[in-house]
Structure formats: C-alpha cells, structure tokens
C-alpha cells in the first residue's frame, strides 16, 4: 500500500510540470518545434519557414472539401486558412477570437502554403459583427469551399462557404449568418444605340425568390438592407471553358463600351481642386464653352478631345478603342489619388474611385488630382451617376 502511494506521488510530481501551464493558464501546445529558416541562397523550390507568436485574430470555422474543419483568418493582409491542429475546439459556422502562435511554411514546386497553430492561448466565440473588425483580404478558394467577397461599396463585407447541406452560407456583420440555396445568374436586357445587349447580375438567393424581384430591387436602387439576396458581381462567362473561356463585366461593358481603364485618363492641375465628383452630360459638352462649364481651358480641351473622338469613333490618345461611335457623358472625380487608382461600382451601381494618398509634396509624380471617366449616356440614363 505504501509503495502504491509513493508511486502515485512520484507520477503526480512528474506530470505536474507538464500540465501546470495547461491547467493554470488554459492553453494548449502542439509540442512541435518553432521553425524560422529560409532555404540556402541559390536553392530553387526550397521552403521558407517562419512563426508568428502571440497573435490575436478573428476566425470563422468551416469544413473544406475534404471534410476537415479549418479556420479562415479575418484580417487584412492575411489570406490563408489555418489548421486548428487539435488545439482548439471549434464548430463549423461559428466565429472565434483566438490568441495563438502559428507556424508558416511556403514554397516548393507546387506552391505550398501551410499554416497551422503551434500554441493556442485563448479561444472564445465571437459575434459575426466582430468577425470583420480587423478587415479581411479578398480571395477565392473553391477547392477549400470558401470565397471571400468584398461587399460592394456601401455594403457590409461578407464571407461565403459552401454548405455541407447544399447551397451556400453567407456571413456578414449586417445580417449574421444567412443560408441561400443557390448562386443564380440573372439577365437584364438593355439597348445601346438601338442595339440589344444585356447585363448579367450574379447573386446568392433562395429558389423561391423571383428574378423580377431581384431586378426591380437593383434597377430601382432598393438593394440596401435586403437580406433576401446578395449581389456578387456582374461578370458573365463566355466561350468554351476548356479553350476560350473568359470573363467580362457586363456593367463595365455597358458603362464604357470596353474596360474602364481604356475610357479614363488622369491629370493634375496647379489649382488643387476640392474632393468631389461631377457629371458633365453629352449635351453640355456639345453646347457649352469652358467658361460656361467652369473649367480651365486646357482641362476643357482634353475633355472635349476625348468626348469628340468617342462621338465620332476616332482612334486617338484620348480614345484607345477607336470605333464604333458612342454617345458619352463625362464623370470627373477630384481629390488626391495614387497612381494605382481604379474605378469600381457600389451597391447602387454608381461608379466610384478606389485609392487615396495624403496631400503632401512627397507624392510627386505618383499622385494626381483629376480622374476622368467617359461613360455611355444610356448607362447614365439607367443608373444616374450625378
């Protein structure tokens, strides 16, 4: 009996150091080594290893296509799913705030990106609203079964996962978790110079919702706060998926005739303008002078050249596409923009610019203060941009 008691005491004494941290501080560690190293110089297709320690981030748990429970990190600048590696108890569809150390491994011929937890110090469930507080990085990984979508400007961002029950689960700060039965392509006919064309709206929705309901909401700009569907984008696929498969944005095609970047130009003025947006219609350019429009003569000349070249289908530095002729209005954004500024559209299908930089002398040639976009009059009539 005495021997048994002594054995129990010894075993307990040996085990206490191993489990003291887990019992007192409630953290779990994998016992795997923390590796921070890069391949030797000149070695191709080697692996890079590094660790991130004492991090706190929000995650959402989901099942990938292999049936594994993974955690997708919700932070700007990070895009990979993490393996819990048995260090935290999470359920698919729930959001969590986790404090952790993680091992990263990248490289190799196949482009490996493996991220997994080494130690988890704290793991607690959080609200869907809090899930998005640190931003996110847009990405798509259909093999893993999830897609990040940035929500259009003015709309809450969301993350989408294929549901194990079929359909899609969409998570957002605005509506929480909403299940949709399908991803649907909806066609809306339009006319351009008397020629029939079409817009394609791609949405998550339920099978009971009609196309007419969705179109009415979008065209009448009543999309806000409507959890019955989620507008993904306006992309249309065409051609043979195995050979000539391609995508194009039908709204962009309708708005500009091709790509926005081919129908826009940027410049700077010594007179720094106030930040804002202005629309000049086809009729105003046709009938009004620079003075009447309140524009500097050299700015007016550039705008008029681009407008007239499009109206006559002329190929020029102001019209890279050449013909056919098209009737255009002019949308002018003013402010202070970096070189990589781009045009996008928001949930009301209004165009806006993405990109900003501080007003300072160091910006130099990397910034400009006028961003001009030529848009079709038909587009502006359907979706007023003023």
Three-state secondary-structure class, residue 171: strand
pLDDT at 158 over 60: yes
User: Higher model confidence: residue 86 or residue 239?
Assistant: 86
What proportion of the chain, given as a percentage, has pLDDT over 70?
80
Rounded to an integer, what distance in angstroms lies between the CA atom of residue 52 and that of residue 36?
Answer: 10
Residue where one domain finishes, among candidates 84, 109, 139: 139
Number of domains in the chain: 2
With cut-offs at 50, 70 and 90, classify the pLDDT of residue 310.
very high
Residue where one domain finishes, among candidates 139, 157, 181: 139
User: Higher model confidence: residue 315 or residue 143?
Assistant: 315
β-pairing verdict for 158-162 and 264-267: unpaired
Would 153 be classed as within a structural domain?
Answer: no
Would 375 be classed as within a structural domain?
Answer: yes
Would 247 be classed as within a structural domain?
Answer: no
Distance of CA 318 to the CA centre of its chain: 30
With cut-offs at 50, 70 and 90, classify the pLDDT of residue 340.
confident
Would 194 be classed as within a structural domain?
Answer: no
pLDDT at 379 over 50: yes
pLDDT at 285 over 90: yes
**What tokens does 263 get?**
């129908």
pLDDT at position 239: 63
In this structure, of 17-21, 217-221, 345-349, the range with the lowest mean pLDDT score is: 17-21
Residue where one domain finishes, among candidates 139, 165, 181: 139
Q: Residue 75 is part of which domain span?
A: 47-139
Rounded to an integer, what distance in angstroms lies between the CA atom of residue 241 and that of residue 247?
Answer: 10
What is the average per-residue pLDDT within 196-223? 92
Q: 35-60, pLDDT tens digit by residue?
A: 998 876 655 557 889 999 999 999 98
pLDDT at 20 over 60: no
Rounded to an integer, what distance in angstroms lies between the CA atom of residue 91 and that of residue 35?
Answer: 29
The mean of the pLDDT values for the chain is: 82
Would 132 be classed as within a structural domain?
Answer: yes
pLDDT at position 241: 55
DSSP 3-state helix, strand, coil percentages of the chain (rounded to 5)? 20, 40, 40
Q: 94-142, pLDDT tens digit by residue?
A: 999 999 999 988 877 666 778 899 999 999 999 988 988 887 776 665 4
pLDDT at position 155: 66
Rounded to an integer, what distance in angstroms lies between the CA atom of residue 253 and that of residue 241?
Answer: 21
pLDDT at 358 over 50: no
Would 263 be classed as within a structural domain?
Answer: yes
Q: Is 105 exposed, middle or buried (0-12, 13-18, 19+ CB in 10 A)?
A: middle
Helix H or strand E encompassing 25: helix 2-25
Q: What is the CATH number of the domain that holds 69?
A: 2.40.50
Rounded to an integer, what distance in angstroms lies between the CA atom of residue 349 and that of residue 379?
Answer: 10
Would 61 be classed as within a structural domain?
Answer: yes
Rounded to an integer, what distance in angstroms lies between the CA atom of residue 241 and that of residue 91?
Answer: 36
Closest among 145, 113, 117 to 57, alpha carbons compared:
117
User: Higher model confidence: residue 338 or residue 300?
Assistant: 300
Would 296 be classed as within a structural domain?
Answer: yes
Helix H or strand E encompassing 121: strand 112-126
What is the average per-residue pLDDT within 67-75? 88
pLDDT at position 106: 83
User: Higher model confidence: residue 244 or residue 26?
Assistant: 26
Rounded to an integer, what distance in angstroms lies between the CA atom of residue 163 and that of residue 251?
Answer: 29
**What tokens does 173 get?**
């700060």
pLDDT at position 109: 61
Q: What order of strands is seen across the sheet that includes strand 69-73?
A: 28-29, 112-126, 95-107, 47-63, 69-73, 81-82
Residue linked to tokens 């970047």: 261
Omega prior to 386 cis, within 30 of 0 = no
Closest among 102, 93, 94, 106 to 38, alpha carbons compared:
106
The 3-state secondary structure of 193-241, one letter per residue: CCEEEEEEEEEEECCCCCHHHHHHHHHCCCCCCCCCEEEEECEEEECCC
What proportion of the chain, given as a percentage, has pLDDT over 90?
40
């Amino acid at each position: 009996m005495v021997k048994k008691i002594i054995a129990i005491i010894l075993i307990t004494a040996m085990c206490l150091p191993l489990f003291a941290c887990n019992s007192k501080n409630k953290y779990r560690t994998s016992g795997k080594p923390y590796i921070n190293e890069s391949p030797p110089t000149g070695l191709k297709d080697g692996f890079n290893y590094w660790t991130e320690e004492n991090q706190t981030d929000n995650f959402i748990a989901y099942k990938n296509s292999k049936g594994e429970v993974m955690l997708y990190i919700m932070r700007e600048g990070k895009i990979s799913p993490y393996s819990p590696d048995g260090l935290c108890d999470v359920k698919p569809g729930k959001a969590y705030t986790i404090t952790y150390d993680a091992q990263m491994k990248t490289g190799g011929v196949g482009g490996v990106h493996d991220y997994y937890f080494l130690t988890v110090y704290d793991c607690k469930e959080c609200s869907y609203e809090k899930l998005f507080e640190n931003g996110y990085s847009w990405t798509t990984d259909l093999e893993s079964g999830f897609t990040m979508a940035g929500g259009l400007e003015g709309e809450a961002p969301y993350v989408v996962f294929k549901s194990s029950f079929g359909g899609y689960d969409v998570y957002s700060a605005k509506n929480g978790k909403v299940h949709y039965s399908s991803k649907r392509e909806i066609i809306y006919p339009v006319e351009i110079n008397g020629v029939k064309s079409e817009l394609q709206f791609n949405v998550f929705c339920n099978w009971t919702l009609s196309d007419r309901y969705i179109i009415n909401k979008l065209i009448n700009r009543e999309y806000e706060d409507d959890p019955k569907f989620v507008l993904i984008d306006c992309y249309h696929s065409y051609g043979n998926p195995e050979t000539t498969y391609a995508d194009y944005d039908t709204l962009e095609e309708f708005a500009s005739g091709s790509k926005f970047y081919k129908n826009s130009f940027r410049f700077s003025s010594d007179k720094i303008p106030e930040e804002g947006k202005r629309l000049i219609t086809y009729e105003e350019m046709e009938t009004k002078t620079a003075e009447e429009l309140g524009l500097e003569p050299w700015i007016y000349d550039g705008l008029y050249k681009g407008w007239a070249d499009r109206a006559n289908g002329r190929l020029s530095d102001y019209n890279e596409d050449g013909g056919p002729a098209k009737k255009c209005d002019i949308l002018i954004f003013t402010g202070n923009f970096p070189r990589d500024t781009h045009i996008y559209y928001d949930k009301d299908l209004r165009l806006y610019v993405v990109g900003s930089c501080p007003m300072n002398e160091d910006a130099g040639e990397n910034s400009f203060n006028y961003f001009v976009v030529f848009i079709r009059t038909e587009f502006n009539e359907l979706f007023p941009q003023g």
